[in-house]
């Protein structure tokens, strides 16, 4: 596949800065990718050369119980683009045969750009993170994190008809960006204090129906349990580095009858749904792209993603 666009995500940034115990060097990273097929195996008649595709990066074995149930992202022998297979920060990328066999390769609709298609993968991850939450028209939703993923969660909550969407974050620049791009959200900065009081002013005494921790913060997980309404639902979307035990108040979960869910990667079906929503203009992801870089400028791209508080940067290796 000739790479047309590969976006930088938080996982890439952490691997770039600190390395990763999950990645054995040397490895080309980058998994939010769209490209054009230039050479295909003889048994891939449905995928002609010239076809634009995306690849759902979490590739299952196809035979274990999670795979058979449609949750290949939880495969017992999971292999991932950018981790066990070389990824998209390169001019070309070889797509593993297993990706075709397990349905991870998706054709890109003609009406959307390669940049938009590359953002289908993080969109699919947020779809997975909200699957259990069953957000509806009367729900108040709170999202910890005002970056790109937090914004995607807010966009999906809007599509599902949430009556109130609150975004919580201490980064004032990103919060301002989120408000500009999603004007009807409410913002709370926990650093200013009285977060729970502000929540009550917005949502009333009942609390928040669905809470999403779209950031790597243990305190966010603690606060999520505290602000959730009775029988509220919590998605622990953002993973934590290092020790993460003992953060959740199990007594509060018990007496409020809270449901707490994890989220890891996404399924091929969720990637197809994300592509469909983008192609139908149900979801505008292009507005979140702050900058586009060549492959030669990738080091600068990584530095500026962090220093300039970008929501999304995309590498276009062959421009």
Please state the domain extents for the chain.
Answer: 2-119+285-315, 128-262
**Mean pLDDT calculated for residue range 283-292:** 97
Query: What mean pLDDT is predicted for residues 1-5?
Result: 98
Share above pLDDT 90 across residues of the chain, in percent, rounded to a whole number: 89
Task: Please provide the average confidence, as pLDDT, over all residues in the chain.
Answer: 95
* pLDDT number for residue 87: 98
Is residue 236 pLDDT above 80, yes or no? yes
pLDDT at 242: 74
94 contacts: CB under 8 Å, gap ≥ 6: 1, 85, 86
Amino acid 306: pLDDT: 87
Q: Given this model, what pLDDT does residue 243 score? A: 73
Q: Which fold has domain 2-119+285-315?
A: Quinone Oxidoreductase; Chain A, domain 1 (3.90.180)
Compute the chain's Rg from CA coordinates.
20
Distance CA 151, CA 172 (A): 14
- Predicted pLDDT at 265: 96
> At residue 272, does pLDDT exceed 90?
yes
What pLDDT is attached to residue 42? 87
pLDDT at 34: 98
- Closest-CA residue to 82 (of 6, 152, 147, 156): 6
Long-range contacts, stretch 162-167, CB < 8 angstroms, 24+ apart: 162/135, 162/136, 162/137, 162/210, 163/137, 163/138, 163/139, 164/139, 164/140, 164/202, 164/203, 165/141, 166/140, 166/141, 166/142, 166/199, 166/202, 166/203, 166/208, 167/142, 167/143
The helix (H) or strand (E) run that includes residue 32 is strand 32-36
Note the pLDDT of residue 280: 96
**DSSP string of 102-161?**
TT-EEEPPTTS-HHHHHTHHHHHHHHHHHTTT---TT-EEEEE--SHHHHHHHHHHHHTT
> 3-class DSSP state for residue 14?
helix
| Banded pLDDT at 319 (limits 50, 70, 90) | confident
For the whole model, what pTM was predicted? 0.96
Give the pLDDT of residue 193.
87
| Superfamily designation of domain 128-262 | NAD(P)-binding Rossmann-like Domain (3.40.50.720)
For the stretch 117-133, pLDDT in tens is: 999 999 999 999 999 99
Lowest-confidence pick of 76-80, 196-200, 277-281? 196-200
Pairing verdict, β 164-168 and 140-144 = parallel
43 or 168: which carries more pLDDT confidence? 168
CB proximity list for 129: less than 8 A, separation 6 or greater: 153, 212, 214, 235, 237, 263
Range scoring the smallest mean pLDDT among 23-32, 240-249, 266-275: 240-249
Give the H/E segment covering residue 199. helix 195-203
């Amino acid at each position: 596949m000739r790479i047309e666009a590969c976006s930088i995500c938080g996982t890439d940034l952490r691997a770039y800065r600190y390395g990763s115990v999950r990645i054995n060097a040397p490895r080309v990273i980058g998994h939010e990718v769209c490209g054009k097929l230039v050479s295909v195996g003889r048994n891939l008649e449905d995928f002609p050369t010239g076809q634009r595709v995306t690849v759902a990066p979490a590739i299952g074995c196809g035979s274990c119980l999670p795979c058979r149930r449609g949750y290949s992202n939880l495969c017992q022998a999971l292999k991932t683009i950018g981790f066990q297979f070389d990824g998209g920060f390169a001019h070309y990328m070889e797509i593993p045969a297993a990706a075709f066999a397990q349905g991870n390769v998706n054709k890109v609709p003609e009406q959307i750009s390669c940049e938009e298609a590359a953002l289908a993968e993080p969109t699919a991850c947020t779809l997975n993170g909200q699957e259990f939450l069953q957000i509806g028209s009367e729900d108040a939703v709170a999202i910890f994190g005002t970056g790109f993923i937090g914004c995607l969660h807010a966009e999906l909550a809007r599509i599902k008809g949430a009556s109130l969407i609150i975004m919580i974050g201490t980064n004032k620049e990103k919060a301002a960006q989120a408000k500009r791009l999603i004007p009807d959200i409410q913002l709370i900065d926990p650093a200013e204090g009285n977060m729970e009081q502000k929540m009550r002013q917005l949502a009333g005494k009942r609390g928040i129906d669905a809470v999403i921790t779209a950031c790597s913060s243990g305190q966010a997980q603690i606060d999520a349990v505290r602000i959730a309404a009775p029988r509220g639902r919590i998605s622990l979307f953002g993973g934590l580095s290092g020790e993460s035990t003992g953060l959740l108040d199990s007594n509060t979960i018990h007496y409020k009858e809270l449901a707490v869910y994890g989220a890891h990667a996404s399924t091929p079906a969720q990637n197809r749904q994300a592509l469909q929503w983008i192609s139908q203009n149900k979801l505008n992801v292009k507005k979140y792209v702050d900058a586009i870089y060549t492959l030669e400028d990738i080091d600068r791209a990584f530095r500026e993603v962090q220093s300039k508080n970008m929501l999304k940067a995309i590498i276009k290796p062959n421009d």
